[in-house]
Structure 1
Amino acid sequence: MMKFYKTITLILTIALIFSACLPSKSIARPVAGPDYWPTQNWQSSSPEQQGMDSAKLADMLEEINQNKTNIHSLLIIRNGYLITEVYFHPYTQDTKEHIQSVTKSVIGMLVGKAIGDGSIKSANEKLVSFYTNRTFSNTGAKKDSIRLKDLLSMSSGLDCQEFSGTGTTMEQSPDWVQFMLDLPVTTTPGQQFGYCNGNAHLLSAILEKTNHLNTRIYANQEIFQPLGIPFVSESDWGADPQGFSLGGFGLHLRPKDLAKLAFLYLHHGKWEDQQIIPASWIAESTTQQTKKEDGSGYGYLWTVYPEDGHYAALGLGGQQIHVYPQKDLIFIVTAGLPAFAEAPEIEKMLGEFILPAIQSENSLPENAAAFSRLQKAVEFAANPLQPIPSLPDVALNISQQVYKFEENPVGWQTLKLDFKPGANTAQLILNDSTPVQVGLDNLYRLSNTELFVDLLIRGSWTDKTTFVIDYPYAISGPIKLGELGATQISIKYSEDAIQTTIQPLIFGGEPIVFNGVKINN
């Protein structure tokens, strides 16, 4: 009983402190201290133990599996306990995902840390004050008035708008920081939302100038290491031509690392016995500073939703962190979806399954049948093995036959496929190189050859003459699981000829189509 009263007293004290200092519009809310800190590992629990319904979560996973929605991972944490952890084949808990624009939210954390440490005075400091010895174009009162908070809230007024499709981009320039500083100011700083990678990149450069330390190293030392997030190398967080860590994208982390960052924010910047980021910064950064075109709010490199009391870090293709302080809920998802920010598939997961699954602030009776369904859906996501279908007649007719292609953009010269009745793999040989394994049982197979390193592919016959290969990468990008990209390669056979169609799946685009003819072995 005494422990109960002490706990209540502590919670009330925390609530009084935060109610006095939180901005009125902040979504951050006081939460009880966790039972443990997941520095080493997350502790697991059934959904029912944390007041959630396993049946709803099982429904969600079964639908994702059935629809083959391109989700890579999914984590749900309530009251500090991991209640659902799903990795969709071939992704695993160790896959480092390119978190795209969630990188921006990490930059925002680091700015808060730097302000707390005193290396940056405040978010009201002027952009130009950090570049007094640099000459740049389009100077004037408006540019002189740009504050760090305007960069943080995507309201700098600089003539930069992502996805506009016009003009030279920062990433095409030889000096990214100079490119941004040279831009004209087209709207009054602090007044209008304008999404721009360069705003966050300027902040990364400023962090390096003020800390005299590369931003990636600063993040490793000041945030990642205390949270137990493994050291992030340069290969997992690149830099611009001048060596400044990418501010708008580029960071690669594991899903559980993202969950730790969310947990840090949920607990107002505290981790174990350290106040890593000032609580006041958590509050300010989750307060609506500007409004986005879709009606949602924007804080300091976080999207905020005042109407339902949550904030989110949103990255291209469905890399997302969602934090619901009043529900003590964290939702992490990585994916390969055709979405620039909000993804309808993820909105449905939250609106129809995850939030309705919350039924109580207290434990619920265990539901063994529903929990069993949930576990089976989790297992199927990780290992979606399916029976090997019978081969069509054409598979054996073309097996080991060599086809020569016309000149094409991907540099394929010859192709040979080798099928054997009843086998769970086929072999693909491109340009007379070492064979690549192709899974035929819905599982990807790993190959390492002189052309490909850590290549994962699977395939299936979609009709009597068409073999389709699933390639979980961009056709022109690196062969690295976790990069945003997925490609479908269709090979259609017709007598002694083939037609190959390479189709990008995530953001579409024109397919690459080229033909080939059978040659004598």
Structure 2
Amino acid sequence: MKMLIPTDLPRRLLAPWLLGAALSAGAAQASDLPVATPADHGIDPGRLTALSAWLREDGLDVHSLLVIKDGKLVFERYTDGLTRDHNYELYSVTKTVTALLAGMLIEDGKITLDDDIASVIGDYRPDLAERVADMDDIELRHVLSMSSGLAYDFAPEGDPIYYGADDRLDLIADTPTRFAPGSDFEYTDVNPVFAAAMLDAASDVPLPEYAAERLFEPMGMEHYAWQRADDRGLVSAGWGLRLRPVDLAKLGMLLINHGQWQGEQLVPADWIARMTTPQAVRDFGYYLWRQHIVDTETSYDMMGFKGQFVTALPEHDTVVVMTGMLPIEGGLRHAKNVRIFRDVVNDYVLPALDAEPDGTHAPAAQEALEEELAASLASHPEPGVFVDPTDAPQR
């Protein structure tokens, strides 16, 4: 649903109207993330204004861009009349949420990192037990760290593992291995399908229900949905989750705060430490990238197809969230959307955090930022990549 923008307001009144609509929409749902101005936290608003202007003037289809500093929402930018209440298909950011749930199920005593595909899936799906029997050396730790060695033969277009699957586990049950589990890293989406099934088997309820009860509801999330389940009701652990950007920011804060949310230990601190520790490769832990967006300091990075990102910067107590439809060419680590987000964080956000704002001009700088955010909200950038029906923002 798009915001209806009045066409009869004078230009000098339109910008404040747009800004007020953007900031007020969904404010009650995000009451646990207080709003502050950049200058309140020593952040240079001029650099954030320049960031927004660059994205707008270059026509980059960034749906949302948020900066959270010291637990406060200090920068919130939307385009095309979108509001705080819209959620987005997160693609591989879903994997990081899956890893958090894995840690919670391990803490519950429901599963361990040593549990293997053959034993867990064999009990979960007896009809597939014989076909997965030779996967007894592929453990949960391997599928969570992309080191399983599984070599699923993806179809070039419209692979049913992603679209319209009757039974994803049946599709992948005969997947061969390319290397010994734990010996190498290969980012492949067969892993989160097995992860989803193993965690679903371990939980007393379907994985989306467990996530809602143990993570989403306690963190005050709104408008969440875990879609794209197969016909048997199994979601993928690698895509299909939809969250609002403000709730993505909470996940980044959860990492910075060692699994605590508002004083409650939702995820074990030792599991957060494991997740953020490199496993089979130097920049990837358990479904979480490390120092992939920022390499000058610690960063925990969630990355999703077409431009969905969360970066948590513990040393600055800062989280940056972006969603959008941006170009994908360039490969896993250096796709154009990844490079754009690196520029957002390294060229604009970090300098804004480290700048010395001129307090004498703070009101004028804040006014300029608000006018720019209003202009961005009224802009209509074209997608930089093909758009699927699932990519449409929802409420």
> TM-score with structure 1 length normalisation?
0.62
RMSD, aligned CA: 2.8
Select 1:311's aligned residue among 273, 280, 300: 300
Kindly indicate whether the alpha-carbon contact (under 8 Å) linking 1:94 and 1:254 is maintained by their aligned counterparts in 2.
yes
Aligned residue for 2:101? 110
Aligned 1:422-441 pairs, distance under 5 A = none
Kindly indicate whether the alpha-carbon contact (under 8 Å) linking 1:197 and 1:247 is maintained by their aligned counterparts in 2.
no
SS at match of 1:123: coil
- Could you say if the C-alpha distance between residues 243 and 378 of structure 1 is closer, same or farther in structure 2, counting changes exceeding 3 Å? same
Separation in structure 2 between the aligned mates of residue 92 and residue 297 of structure 1, nearest angstrom: 33
Select 1:365's aligned residue among 359, 377, 385: 359
Select 1:57's aligned residue among 39, 42, 48: 48
Aligned 1:353-502 pairs, distance under 5 A = 353-359=348-354, 365=359, 367-384=362-379, 477-478=388-389, 481-482=392-393
Q: Write 1 or 2 for the structure with the bigger share of strand.
A: 1
CA shift, 1:277, in A, is 0.6
- Could you say if the C-alpha distance between residues 310 and 207 of structure 1 is closer, same or farther in structure 2, counting changes exceeding 3 Å? same
Unaligned 5+ segments in structure 2 are: 1-28
1:345-389 CA-to-partner distances (Å, cap 9, x unmatched) read 1111112111111227x99736233222211111111124xxxxx
CA shift, 1:473, in A, is 10
CA shift, 1:56, in A, is 1.2
Kindly indicate whether the alpha-carbon contact (under 8 Å) linking 1:136 and 1:181 is maintained by their aligned counterparts in 2.
no
Kindly indicate whether the alpha-carbon contact (under 8 Å) linking 2:87 and 2:224 is maintained by their aligned counterparts in 1.
no
Aligned residue for 1:467? none
- Could you say if the C-alpha distance between residues 479 and 319 of structure 1 is closer, same or farther in structure 2, counting changes exceeding 3 Å? closer
Alignment-mate amino acid for residue 67 of structure 2: I
Aligned residue for 2:20? none
Do residues 260 (structure 1) and 250 (structure 2) align? yes
Aligned residue for 2:151? 159
Alignment-mate amino acid for residue 355 of structure 1: L
Q: Which moves more between the two structures, 83-92 or 219-228?
A: 83-92
Kindly indicate whether the alpha-carbon contact (under 8 Å) linking 1:136 and 1:182 is maintained by their aligned counterparts in 2.
no
Aligned residue for 2:326? 337
- Could you say if the C-alpha distance between residues 210 and 71 of structure 1 is closer, same or farther in structure 2, counting changes exceeding 3 Å? same
Aligned residue for 1:393? none
Aligned residue for 2:64? 73
Q: Work out which structure has the larger RCO, using CA pairs closer than 8 Å and 6 or more positions apart in sequence.
A: 2
Aligned 1:234-313 pairs, distance under 5 A = 236-291=226-281, 297-305=283-291, 307=295, 308-313=297-302
SS at match of 2:173: helix
Separation in structure 2 between the aligned mates of residue 128 and residue 263 of structure 1, nearest angstrom: 36
Kindly indicate whether the alpha-carbon contact (under 8 Å) linking 2:85 and 2:223 is maintained by their aligned counterparts in 1.
no
Separation in structure 2 between the aligned mates of residue 58 and residue 40 of structure 1, nearest angstrom: 25
Separation in structure 1 between the aligned mates of residue 217 and residue 158 of structure 2, nearest angstrom: 40
CA shift, 1:175, in A, is 2.3
1:34-68 CA-to-partner distances (Å, cap 9, x unmatched) read xxxx9733212222222221111111111111111
Separation in structure 1 between the aligned mates of residue 55 and residue 158 of structure 2, nearest angstrom: 39
Separation in structure 2 between the aligned mates of residue 363 and residue 372 of structure 1, nearest angstrom: 15
Q: Write 1 or 2 for the structure with the bigger share of helix.
A: 2
Aligned residue for 1:199? 191
What is the number of residues matched between the two proteins?
351
- Could you say if the C-alpha distance between residues 176 and 40 of structure 1 is closer, same or farther in structure 2, counting changes exceeding 3 Å? same
Aligned residue for 1:434? none
Q: Which moves more between the two structures, 95-104 or 178-187?
A: 178-187
Separation in structure 1 between the aligned mates of residue 73 and residue 157 of structure 2, nearest angstrom: 44
Aligned residue for 2:18? none
Kindly indicate whether the alpha-carbon contact (under 8 Å) linking 1:137 and 1:183 is maintained by their aligned counterparts in 2.
no
- Could you say if the C-alpha distance between residues 270 and 379 of structure 1 is closer, same or farther in structure 2, counting changes exceeding 3 Å? same
Do residues 211 (structure 1) and 203 (structure 2) align? yes
Kindly indicate whether the alpha-carbon contact (under 8 Å) linking 1:473 and 1:480 is maintained by their aligned counterparts in 2.
no
CA shift, 1:145, in A, is 1.1
SS at match of 1:220: helix
CA shift, 1:300, in A, is 0.5
- Could you say if the C-alpha distance between residues 478 and 111 of structure 1 is closer, same or farther in structure 2, counting changes exceeding 3 Å? same
Alignment-mate amino acid for residue 307 of structure 2: G
CA shift, 1:237, in A, is 2.0
- Could you say if the C-alpha distance between residues 478 and 39 of structure 1 is closer, same or farther in structure 2, counting changes exceeding 3 Å? closer
SS at match of 2:217: helix
Highest Rg: 1 or 2?
Answer: 1
Separation in structure 2 between the aligned mates of residue 169 and residue 246 of structure 1, nearest angstrom: 12
SS at match of 2:303: strand
1:59-109 CA-to-partner distances (Å, cap 9, x unmatched) read 111111111111100000111111100111132212111111111111111
CA shift, 1:115, in A, is 0.9
Percent identity of paired positions between Structure 1 and Structure 2: 28
Select 1:135's aligned residue among 129, 133, 150: 129
CA shift, 1:479, in A, is 8.2
Kindly indicate whether the alpha-carbon contact (under 8 Å) linking 1:161 and 1:194 is maintained by their aligned counterparts in 2.
no
CA shift, 1:212, in A, is 2.5
Separation in structure 2 between the aligned mates of residue 226 and residue 166 of structure 1, nearest angstrom: 39
CA shift, 1:198, in A, is 2.2
Select 1:222's aligned residue among 199, 214, 226: 214
Unaligned 5+ segments in structure 1 are: 1-37, 385-441, 444-469, 484-521
Kindly indicate whether the alpha-carbon contact (under 8 Å) linking 1:318 and 1:337 is maintained by their aligned counterparts in 2.
yes
SS at match of 1:86: strand
> TM-score with structure 2 length normalisation?
0.81
Separation in structure 2 between the aligned mates of residue 161 and residue 249 of structure 1, nearest angstrom: 18
